[in-house]
Structure 1
Amino acid sequence: MDAAKSGDTVLVLPGTYHQSVKVTTPGLILRGMGNATVLKPAPKATDDCGKRGNGICVSGTKTKLLKGVTVSDLKVTGFSRAGVLAVGTDGLTVRRVTAEKNAVWGLAEERSQHSAYRENAVRNSGDAGIFLANTITAEQGATDTKGTLITSNRMENNRIGVTVRRLRNLTVTSNDITGNCAGVFVVGDENKPKAGALTVRGNRVVKNNKYCAKTERLPFLQGSGIVLTGAEKTDVTGNEVTGNSGTSPLSGGIVLFKSFVGATNDNNRIRDNSLRDNSPADLINQETAKRGNAFAHNFCRASKPTGLC
């Protein structure tokens, strides 16, 4: 990795490697040989990526985005933070990566744009399987990802399958999301601009009924399919949302949840979704005032309030 130049491919042969990897070279391809190439934590990490508990770090700087990196065809498991963490990237591709049993996130990024997450398998993450945010630590308004894509991934047995936090202009499509405490979260807060202007389309969100204890900002999670909280102008369309059942305030098929910090959902479009066997209802809108949220042509049986199906 240290010797690689822009445009090079670093091919990692089958084996188990007890180390972390930091990518700072633009245009680099880091490719393994599928699940036979395994990265696990070192007994004692010596690099800053490993010391922070991450498996692969793709890192730009605060003043210059790292462009055109690809990470593919390998497995990252057992890290105390994230399997793959990208910070300050442009045009990152993460493809056919298995991220398993990482303590916080499977695949995560912040301050990045034009990313593509394709055909990955993410299981048993302590928080989100795929976690994308404007910044992980700071409180500020949503930023434009300029077309980031999360597609054709499988998220299973995580706390949340996919979390999109304080971002805009992004698509989550054609993913298989099952067995998590919650399927998809689109999260905003009191900062401006709001999260939103994005699309959640054509996903299979089934039986996300695992139990997860409450946190500082959320109640316990169980049985949530797709949740919007503090989001605006988001299209939720053509999804199959089935069998998500629980008694959490966020339980249900597709839920518009007014956040605990008072951020409302405004002008979102929930349409052409197929929902069944979700409890307490297939569609739930917790906004008490009219906020311009539109429900149309959804196939479902029960909603709160009534009349949304």
Structure 2
Amino acid sequence: MKKCHIAYLACTAALLGTGLGAAPPVAAHTVHVVHPGESIQKAVDAARPGDTVLLTHGTFHESVDVSTPGLTLRGMGRGTVLEPQAGASTGTAPSTGSGAAKTGKAVNSCAAGGNGICVVGTKDRGVDGVTVASLTVTGFAKTGLYATEADGLTVRRVTAVKNGVWGIATEHSVHGLFRDNTARDNGDAGLFLANTVKEEQGATDTEGTVVEHNRLEGNRIGVTVRRLRNLTLAGNHLTGNCAGVFVVGDENKPKAGFVTVRDNRIERNNKSCPKTARLDALQGTGIVLTGAEDSLVTHNVIKDNVGKSPLSGGIVLFKSFVGTTSDRNRISGNLLRGNSPDLVNTDTGKGNVFEGNSCRSSKPAGLC
């Protein structure tokens, strides 16, 4: 890769320095431009914190491991596409170990395990301040974009389509921002955020992760928040999934909770999905809280979610499958129409409040 393609920001900083003698020095961050047929991994491995790897329009047949803090991996819109290379490994599960070696050939890396873009740190060495933006990830056996041990991850204008498990997923991560993304027709959740998948432990604090203005369509579940606390879902559009939003806890302590679900539009999530080992069949579900506490569901528009699942309904408060109750949740000020029914409470927990909702049907009666 030629210097003239990758160092224009450094040159600009030098020119400014010569023209303005009194100006403070400007850090030189390099832009590494990658074209289809060139190696994204090679550019990522060459990058330093603060650099940008810019992918041009076209299709790249590659998976990528990112372990450099402060890196921006950016495409030029939906026309920048990452797909698996022919014969790529499908792996068994996303790795939670370290990133790929500098050769990009680590056999056990996350990318080699059937994932598209992997932002991967460790407990001892997190990967902070990474941005992934303006590109499409599609056709990967596991996850389009997967992150673990990431602090301050930003994912913007990413389109994750037809990946085998999740569109965009994180574990063990805090301070995340997921904005203006599209996740469509993925095998499980379009957006999946969890403390951990492989271990049993209580919910962890995301320290203010925000999921906003995303479109989730045609997935099994639009957004899953699993065993997390202190997170906001706002202004998203969820349609055509089997279920819109799941906030999920279990018997571990602390419970999932302090999740705010507000100002979302959740409609016609009537796709039918069969029962799994962990969950009943899904159809016609807007928002489910199960095993959660101290959460707020407010000012959402929830329409025409119709199905025959035990979890069907506009907003459903459901006792978890391991017997954990939901407590002190507030469902208020939502507009619900045409769901079957609009509000459902099958939980036996304490302190849950339904108030000020505009709705016409509930189970049991009297919640509207």
Do they superpose with TM above 0.5? yes
Bin of the TM-score, shorter chain as denominator length: over 0.9
Q: Would you say how many aligned residue pairs link Structure 1 and Structure 2?
A: 307
Q: Match of 2:110, SS?
A: helix
Matched, 1:204 2:247: no
In 1, the alpha carbon distance for the partners of 2:170 and 2:110 equals 14
Matched, 1:55 2:116: yes
Q: Match of 1:270, SS?
A: strand
Q: Match of 1:51, SS?
A: helix
- Note the C-alpha offset of 1:51: 2.1
In 2, the alpha carbon distance for the partners of 1:235 and 1:65 equals 31
- 1:276 alignment partner in structure 2: 337
Compared with structure 1, are the counterparts of its residues 290 and 68 closer, same or farther at alpha carbon in structure 2 (3 Å cutoff)? closer
- Note the C-alpha offset of 1:290: 5.2
- 1:308 alignment partner in structure 2: 367
Deviations 1:144-180 (A, max 9, x none): 0000000000000000000000000000000000000
Q: Match of 1:30, SS?
A: strand
Q: Which amino acid aligns with 1:308?
A: L
In 2, the alpha carbon distance for the partners of 1:291 and 1:285 equals 12
Deviations 1:202-237 (A, max 9, x none): 000000000000001111000000000100000000
Contact 1:160 1:185 in 2 (8 A): yes
Q: Which amino acid aligns with 1:282?
A: D
Matched, 1:169 2:230: yes
- 1:246 alignment partner in structure 2: 307
Matches within 5 A, 1:128-277: 128-277=189-338
Deviations 1:248-300 (A, max 9, x none): 00000000011111011100000000001001x1000002x351100110000
- 2:136 alignment partner in structure 1: 75
Structure 2 unpaired stretches of 5+: 1-43, 89-104
- Note the C-alpha offset of 1:65: 1.8
Q: Match of 1:217, SS?
A: coil
Matched, 1:299 2:331: no
Matched, 1:88 2:140: no
Matched, 1:9 2:70: no
In 2, the alpha carbon distance for the partners of 1:37 and 1:196 equals 37
Matched, 1:98 2:159: yes
Contact 2:290 2:317 in 1 (8 A): yes
In 1, the alpha carbon distance for the partners of 2:233 and 2:71 equals 25
Compared with structure 1, are the counterparts of its residues 169 and 12 closer, same or farther at alpha carbon in structure 2 (3 Å cutoff)? same
Contact 1:41 1:50 in 2 (8 A): no
Contact 1:172 1:201 in 2 (8 A): yes
Matched, 1:127 2:188: yes
Contact 2:325 2:349 in 1 (8 A): no
Structure 1 unpaired stretches of 5+: none
- Note the C-alpha offset of 1:95: 0.2
In 1, the alpha carbon distance for the partners of 2:188 and 2:126 equals 26
CA RMSD of aligned residues (A): 0.9
- Note the C-alpha offset of 1:63: 1.6
Contact 2:224 2:248 in 1 (8 A): yes
Q: Which amino acid aligns with 1:117?
A: F
Contact 1:107 1:130 in 2 (8 A): yes
In 2, the alpha carbon distance for the partners of 1:29 and 1:51 equals 21
Q: Which amino acid aligns with 1:103?
A: G
Deviations 1:31-54 (A, max 9, x none): 001111100001134552332110
The one of 142, 167, 171 aligned to 1:110? 171
Q: Match of 1:2, SS?
A: helix
The structure whose residues are more often strand, as a share, is 1
The percent of aligned pairs where both chains have the same amino acid is: 64
Contact 1:160 1:182 in 2 (8 A): yes
Contact 1:242 1:276 in 2 (8 A): yes
Q: Which amino acid aligns with 2:362?
A: S
TM-score for the superposition, normalised by structure 1:
0.98
In 2, the alpha carbon distance for the partners of 1:113 and 1:159 equals 25
In 2, the alpha carbon distance for the partners of 1:163 and 1:304 equals 24
- Note the C-alpha offset of 1:73: 0.3
